Structure 1
């Protein structure tokens, strides 16, 4: 199976971000990738403005354009977007919260709402994002995929449960926060989650932005990675926008789980 990892930098404009998706998806299809994974917040980058004003239903125009693109190219697209969720009171203010979604469009259709919101290092994503409640797996080409999003990667039990639910490949759209020691943690956590779950992990992050964005916001550091079921790195990007194309063998999962039965 050939998987592409589209490490992009999303901005504030949905139309421009959708054009980025089209450009990278087309390049992935030209290299015969069957799946292309984009980052969390592909619809609108963190730190570029209010998310609730651009949030859409997963049946809305943005997701519909992604579906059309996927069908036209014959590729399955996985990316992060935002949809309206609920209202909460914070500091005597009413806040329109959103769902942080990862959507799958093309040869399979699925939606995952991020469970573990980024409430750490001085940032409170739960003020503006409603935490999800359900794990997500889907079938594609006789392979079971799982999805987790960014901060979820710090919670090994989510990955282990996805594996118990049959996931052989776990896709992780992300927008990792930059800062001291964060790259080391990103690398360590992604490798550990592959080994915990004895599954392939495809972790696609936002590239490191070149414009001025709030330092506390999880705007991306790059270094997207693909790991095998023993945690070995098969490919890693740098900090800048990049397209990785990697061949994986899902049958390796059963072999590893037979010799390393940790689930």
Structure 2
């Protein structure tokens, strides 16, 4: 199956971000890609304003236009967005929380995965403004089952194993991975480890690094480190982008997963 991993740097303007997605999607589809994976927060970048004010349901304009585009191009598009969730009281403040959602649309599907593991780490509490999801999501591309996770989920191997047990041969991973000391080595290690844990392809699309390579290795907040990647079920990195905007287009063999799982039958074999 031919895939496109599209590493963009989204901004504050949802319509402008839509335009960039549409342009790149047409280019990728013209090159034969059937699965197009975009970063977390593709609709609106973190740090560009109140997410709750611009959050949309998956029948709203952002998701609706991507649905039309995916059906026109006969592809599946995965892209990060934000949807309204609930209202909570925190320290005397009323907060309208959102879902950090990965939209999956195309080939007769239109659904959203709500990020399960909120980024409550490194002195930051995403759960203050983001409602954690609860359900695993799988979808179909060209008759193959894939799963979906978002960014911080990559630190939780059980989720990836559960998706593989549900039949996923590949797991798409939209991210906005924060840059900083040791963050790139962690990213590379975690994506390889998750591929090995669940003997599946990992297809990870990250936000491009603001400032590019010049700023690489310094703290960026949750605005991206780039380095989108594709990792095979043996943990080998078969493609990786750099810090800047880029598109990886490549063919992956999802059937190889069956061979790997036969040789390395780790799914369901644990004792704990």
| TM-score with structure 1 setting the length | 0.97
Provide, for residues 52-86 of structure 1, a one-character-per-residue CA deviation record: whole Å limited to 9, x for no partner: 01000111111111011112222211000101100
Q: How many residues align?
A: 261
Alignment check: 8 A CA contact 1:122 1:216 kept: no
- The answer to whether structure 1 residue 79 and structure 2 residue 83 are counterparts is no
2:158 paired residue number: 157
**Matches of 2:174 and 2:250 in 1, distance apart?**
16
- The answer to whether structure 1 residue 237 and structure 2 residue 237 are counterparts is no
Q: Identify which range, 66-75 or 177-186, moves more after superposition.
A: 66-75
1:258 paired residue number: 262
Alignment check: 8 A CA contact 1:38 1:205 kept: yes
Provide, for residues 111-148 of structure 1, a one-character-per-residue CA deviation record: whole Å limited to 9, x for no partner: 10000000111211100000000111112212110000
The aligned runs of 1:66-215 (5 Å cut-off) are 66-107=66-107, 108-210=109-211
Q: CA deviation at 1:23?
A: 1.3
Provide, for residues 1-45 of structure 1, a one-character-per-residue CA deviation record: whole Å limited to 9, x for no partner: 000000000100001100110111011111100010000000000
- The answer to whether structure 1 residue 218 and structure 2 residue 222 are counterparts is yes
Q: CA deviation at 1:90?
A: 1.5
Alignment check: 8 A CA contact 2:35 2:141 kept: no
Provide, for residues 182-240 of structure 1, a one-character-per-residue CA deviation record: whole Å limited to 9, x for no partner: 0000000000000100000001100001399xx57311000000011011111000000
1:56 paired residue number: 56
SS of residue matched to 1:163: helix
Q: Identify which range, 148-157 or 84-93, moves more after superposition.
A: 84-93
SS of residue matched to 1:261: coil
RMSD: 1.3
> Which consecutive aligned stretches of 4+ in structure 1 deviate over 4 angstroms post-superposition?
none
Alignment check: 8 A CA contact 1:123 1:217 kept: no
Q: CA deviation at 1:167?
A: 0.5
Q: Identify which range, 244-253 or 107-116, moves more after superposition.
A: 107-116
Residues 1:233 and 1:216: Cα distance change in structure 2 (over 3 Å): closer
- The answer to whether structure 1 residue 16 and structure 2 residue 22 are counterparts is no
**Matches of 1:49 and 1:120 in 2, distance apart?**
21
**Matches of 1:85 and 1:110 in 2, distance apart?**
16
| TM-score with structure 2 setting the length | 0.94
**Matches of 1:179 and 1:231 in 2, distance apart?**
24
SS of residue matched to 1:207: coil
Alignment check: 8 A CA contact 2:76 2:141 kept: no
